[in-house]
Structure 1
């Protein structure tokens, strides 16, 4: 009986050792297989920074588009490597003949590559399309028209329309361009106030396209050829708000109202004299 028990004990021990060895080998293989599996990767973003917003356009260009602007007004940004914008307004007062108003805004938004959200250039393209849609859907826009723009970044288009306000009829041009993982949105509008004639829409579109091309070139120049991606965080969802919508709101409205009032006062004074 003792011999039988001893044999039975040895047999059980061997069997248990064999089973344990098999389980350990299986777990080890699974662990090795898991560690060998590649983690999700996404191609890096080409551009890692943005130029100074108020320096993307040359003095000559600013002199042509907003001749009476003294300086640009830079918008606040918590991350200047990710987003930035600058605006200029110009009022050319011609006394009793009225005045010419111009407003220009350049906005830039850079998208970083993210494993969960996708490549920077793909994310930028989504924003590019959204900017165009927002411009086309501006409240009060009369007969908006969208045309492609060539020679400006990887893709670009211009949305043009008229906006009628109590100060006058404003002719709006919004050029949206994408270069790599950066979207540049340029808003440019003009109006003849207090009796002055309306500016040519074709001339305004031509100027807006030229300025947008220059702004895109500034973005590329700030990064150089084959620029590496930075490690700055991805922009928040709030950063995708359309700057083109603001082009039809307060900047032009407040300045235009002041311009119309000033011109009217000058005309009255001239008539009294």
Structure 2
């Protein structure tokens, strides 16, 4: 009797344990699916708007031949009539004007070049790109082996920042060589670079112009041209 009673109790406990295991198995499987769904949901990529280029100060350029008044042109380039627009396929991005004249064997030539930069998310803001280009324009004078006695100095009151570079060079006309004095002024205003190149020489009985004269006239033109960028 005792042995039979023990067997009945063991069988009863074993049968009672089966539903508990089944319930536990189902609960574990359901929780795993919910966790997987939650993980997938949290790992889903989120989309964001691409970065926008920084705004620029200037979106257009003036006609380079209209950056100087007739009075200034007459004073700086005696004998010059009208400026020659050298043309550009992108007038809002780049432009150059040339004035040249000969008066009593005194030759003068002046160019005003304007270059505008837009902002680019990979290349930098318009102002940063303009500053980099300005540095290249300044360095180009000393890198030209034809130029000698190169001297550059900071220039205040022209654009946001400017550099004035003096130099001398020799040019041949046939068998004869002429001494030229030149001045380049590079100014940055916003996202625009203004480059003024000015040179002078004395032909025949004319004398080579003084360095101070060339520098003052070039800087005067550069200040006026930079102010014309609006």
TM-score range, shorter chain: 0.7 to 0.9
- 1:194, distance to aligned residue in structure 2 (A): 1.5
1:78 corresponds in structure 2 to 89
Select which of 121, 136, 143 maps to 1:137. 143
Instruction: Spell out the pairing of 1:1-273 with structure 2 (5 A cutoff).
Output: 11=25, 18-31=31-44, 34-35=46-47, 39-92=50-103, 94=104, 99-167=105-173, 168-219=178-229, 221=230
SS at match of 2:216: helix
Q: Which runs of 5 or more structure 2 residues have no equivalent in the other structure?
A: 1-17
Q: Distance in 2 between matches of 1:76 and 1:27?
A: 60
Q: Deviations over 1:159-192 (max 9, x none)?
A: 1111112341111100000011111100000000
Q: TM-score, normalised by structure 2?
A: 0.81
- 1:68, distance to aligned residue in structure 2 (A): 1.5
1:230 corresponds in structure 2 to none
Question: What is the RMSD of the two structures over their aligned residues, measured on CA atoms?
Answer: 2.4
Q: Which stretch of the first structure deviates more once superposed, 132-141 or 209-218?
A: 132-141
1:240 corresponds in structure 2 to none
SS at match of 1:198: coil
Q: Distance in 1 between matches of 2:83 and 2:32?
A: 77
Instruction: Provide the aligned length of Structure 1 versus Structure 2.
Output: 208
| Alignment check: 8 A CA contact 1:90 1:101 kept | yes
Q: TM-score, normalised by structure 1?
A: 0.69
Larger helix share, 1 or 2? 1
Q: Which stretch of the first structure deviates more once superposed, 102-111 or 62-71?
A: 62-71
Larger strand share, 1 or 2? 2
- 1:130, distance to aligned residue in structure 2 (A): 0.9
Is the radius of gyration larger for structure 1 or structure 2? 2
Classify 1:18/1:202 alpha carbon distance in 2 versus 1 (closer, same or farther; 3 Å): same
